[in-house]
A and B are shown apart, each in its own frame.
Chain A
């Protein structure tokens, strides 16, 4: 299937690229009416300008195109477009606008600043005593559900009670272990009692990355229903949009701005959303999604390949990525990619072997082979996004430069960014940063040296031998390894696996890349049925990344064959576990949090259970033909996280171009 997909994309790109049909310039490609006036395609009017007459154009769901923002659906078709009960696992496609536009969270996140911000909650939890088990917070006043009923603290109380009382709900166990009670003491005040002392309640009940599972439901509707079976087919929320129509097949969802948008969370906190309608639509495979944007039938695309972006920017002059020039993609996605070791399997239980593989990685060529050099390196266990670079990568530079292996060898190479810029220049890439700081900000603070000789030393010290060009294991057998990689998803990790395999093969290891579909891929990681995997066990967005690191505690290690609740690399480190225990007791804003996490990162560098390589680069372009005001690196009011619940916060910035 993977080959088929690659073939689809390649064919599409070749044909698209070869075509003289430049829609962005003359609109010819999307020109014809199809006998009905309800298509979203452009009308051929003979006007060579992109500013062709388009007033009166309708989308294929019957809304004026000039008032409709069309957004790609990351997860594709929804299996059940009539189900909006978010507590029954499985069927609700949250990323079809459901959590972006309608549902709201207690606390959201500002990814540019790396801070949580109030959404439905008006304040952050305040501890009521010294036990860290009793808290109070306020909810916003003056908000209503989209059916006009007031939103109050009683809705929050009801939702919490409903989850903890209904064993059939997927998150029942989680909430029961977290929340003892949640009471509305008046219409706008909530008191929470937790099961155990909590120092990060807002992170657990609010958004840290993507969204949160605690979604407040309207008491006046849900109290009459059985939450385990209720479909919530006519959903309402406190968000600024309401569901107007949906495709019975699950390919599109039409959202309409609430007439009383002032009483929505966004209306109160940010302002009036721009688009009257937002259509979330799934066009199909990548090549069709690209064509849709070339034809101005799609305003926001989610997660495409660099090759597709190349075609898109050539064929649609209104298409815009995060950066105006190279590297185009945003690099601030909160998870980083690399090679993950199963440290319960020989020889990957040996840190020297893991370090040898890091030093055998020709990282510049790996970057070029993976995403054409459009990647930012990371030498530590935290994604190299701006907030975390400022808090960890840059402050740790001195330690990284001084860090030495047992034999005194210092592996850090600070010159990576300059090196990759030179390499890109030689390839004719233009628009590269020139300032030294800008170069580092773009491509990373540095990585490990490509030093096969030092790698050989480490291996030979542990009984490995070289036989001609090939490495032999200590038992004399050829060194063969398999890297697990995603098959039809997470394209960066998939490509990274092949690029790293190529680098290691050149050093004399027989490397096989095993591509796996989603279910097998995750199951293998969880049960430890892997040697090395192109996984991404290093995420974070807030300076306090405790929540994302908790899983590395050694108490979560289980034998191979059993499903691991955390620590899927099965890496035991006493100091990391102790530091995590300490972090658990510290409030998020305690200065010692950063210190502890820095120390944890040092342990990861020493032990290398995961070789962090690159932050995630996302190509999530927009078309500015019908809509403008999108966030970019030059207008960075937020990151381009179209599939996150914070999308609704972007909508007041979006303005119609009048076309």
Chain B
């Protein structure tokens, strides 16, 4: 019974979070001092500097009609909620009209998922191993060295680190390409090879930054746990240090790290804005950036709604799975 009650409460909170989230996402862009039609006209007139006022009036009318921006905000909101719930359709992108937002997201998502999932998991694994060693074997010189490197890299702003990598590995030692050029298509070997080759530098930059945080947090957790009574007791029992580290310290220190990993995987759907811009990598971050710059309501709503659902879902899954990971936690 406790489980069903727990499940119901979590489902209700999930639905509420998503509903409030998409409502906010609908209204916030409309309160911005910008208008997608005006942005498009501004761009056209800035380029051409030749469009008569009458032309602008008629163009504005046509665009408003095409973009579905006619009617009151309330009408638009009701239409939006219906579309999202019933057909999961976010309408056409206004900046890339008439491409459907769903199509743009579907194109960008695999790139973002591929890059961020891989780099997040690699960073998590490396960071936790190094952090565990640094926290448990804190007197060893290699532990100190690894910790020092992590602490040095972690505070560097991501964009600086990424830029330094580009300078080092694309310019001074041009091992990796300056901009991504993907060869081949689909699941061909040529394409896979090309994607991997072009993704190494952006992934490396994310792994370097991500690893630092995991090292520091794991080190703090494991060094604290290493001082716990039950760990001391295990030592007194004569268990090997390796066994103590892997069987006593790691499982306990890993719990919050697993939680954080699940939440970070949820945020993957936000994309990696700076990475995508700096490395010319296609993904959700670029879409969000374009949406905001061009006041593309539908694109903003589509990408942010996806992100809200992903984070809420990740939280829901973590809540649901936690009792399986930690026996001390019960469905209450």
Contacts and interface: CB of A to CB of B under 8 A. Distances in A.
A288 interface: yes
A520 B48 contact: no
A523 interface: yes
B166 interface: yes
A177 B163 contact: no
Interface stretch (A87-95, A415-423, A447-455): A87-95
A251 B59 contact: no
A326 interface: no
Contact of B163 (A11, A30, A523): A11
Nearest to B49: A539
Nearest to A90: B97
A172 B58 CA distance: 8
A566 B41 CA distance: 12
A518 B293 contact: yes
Nearest to A488: B293
Interface in A45-79: 60-61, 77, 79
Contact of B181 (A61, A172, A177, A520): A61
A520 B32 contact: yes
A229 B51 CA distance: 25
Contacts of A31: 174
A522 interface: yes
Given A15-B167, A519-B295, A210 B42 contact: no
Interface in A508-567: 516-527, 529, 536, 539, 547-548, 550-551, 553, 556, 563, 565-567
Nearest to B179: A283
Interface in B173-217: 173-183, 185
A247 interface: yes
Given A285-B277, A548-B50, A565 B163 contact: no
B42 A288 contact: no
Interface stretch (B246-254, B259-267, B278-286, B307-315): B278-286
A572 interface: no
Nearest to B97: A90
Contact of B180 (A4, A171, A251, A567): A251
Nearest to B299: A79
A553 to B, nearest CB: 8
Given A209-B50, A295-B171, A88 B97 contact: yes
Size category of the binding interface on chain A: 35 or more
A551 B52 contact: yes
A635 interface: no
Given A80-B96, A210-B48, A565-B54, A4 B274 contact: yes
Contacts of A174: 51-52, 54-55, 58-59
A208 B39 contact: no
Contacts of A551: 52-53
Nearest to A169: B62
A285 B174 CA distance: 18
A89 B97 contact: yes
B38 interface: yes
B63 A89 contact: yes
Interface string B27-43: 00000111110111111
Interface string A292-324: 101101000000000000000000000000000
Contact of A522 (B38, B47, B96, B99): B38
A207 to B, nearest CB: 9
Given A89-B97, A174-B59, A284-B277, A547 B36 contact: no
Nearest to B57: A565
A60 to B, nearest CB: 4
B146 interface: no
B42 A525 contact: yes
Contact of B39 (A83, A488, A522): A522
A625 interface: no
Given A297-B178, A563-B38, A80 B99 contact: yes
Given A7-B159, A90-B96, A39 B55 contact: no
A366 to B, nearest CB: 22
Contacts of B292: 517
A518 B49 contact: no
A16 interface: yes
A437 interface: no
B163 to A, nearest CB: 5
Contact of B42 (A91, A521, A547): A521
Given A88-B97, A251-B180, A518-B293, A547 B39 contact: no
A41 interface: yes
Contacts of B54: 174, 177, 565
A34 B181 CA distance: 14
Given A7-B159, A519-B295, A556 B53 contact: yes
B294 interface: yes
A312 to B, nearest CB: 13
B104 A79 contact: yes
A517 B34 CA distance: 9
A248 B278 contact: no
Nearest to A335: B49
Nearest to B193: A36
Given A288-B178, A523-B35, A283 B164 contact: no
B60 interface: yes
A19 interface: yes
B95 interface: yes
Contacts of A209: 48-50
Given A517-B292, A518-B39, A295 B58 contact: no
B93 interface: yes
Contacts of A8: 159, 163, 278
B290 interface: yes
Contacts of A354: none
B295 A520 contact: yes
B59 A173 contact: yes
B181 A251 contact: yes
Given A177-B54, A518-B294, A566-B56, A172 B62 contact: yes
Contacts of B93: 79, 90
B33 A523 contact: yes
A39 B280 contact: no
Contacts of B43: 518, 522
A177 B99 CA distance: 28
A251 B280 contact: yes
Contacts of B279: 284
B241 interface: no
Contacts of B177: 34, 39, 60
A80 B92 CA distance: 13
Contact of A283 (B35, B55, B173, B280): B280
B96 A91 contact: yes
Contacts of A88: 97-98
B33 A529 contact: yes
Contacts of A525: 42
Nearest to A203: B50
A547 B52 contact: yes
B232 interface: no
Interface in A488-506: 488, 490
B236 interface: no
A249 to B, nearest CB: 4
A29 interface: yes
A242 interface: no
Contacts of A283: 178-179, 280
A12 interface: yes
A433 interface: no
What 7 A-B pairs have minimum CB-CB distances, sorted nearest first?
A173-B58, A522-B42, A90-B97, A519-B34, A566-B53, A519-B39, A519-B295
14 contacts: A4-B159, A29-B174, A61-B181, A88-B97, A89-B59, A90-B40, A91-B96, A169-B62, A287-B163, A292-B178, A516-B33, A520-B295, A526-B41, A536-B46
Interface of A: 4, 7-8, 11-12, 15-16, 19, 21, 29-32, 34, 38-39, 41, 60-61, 77, 79-80, 83, 88-91, 167-174, 176-177, 203, 208-213, 229, 247-252, 281-285, 287-288, 291-292, 294-295, 297, 334-335, 488, 490, 516-527, 529, 536, 539, 547-548, 550-551, 553, 556, 563, 565-567
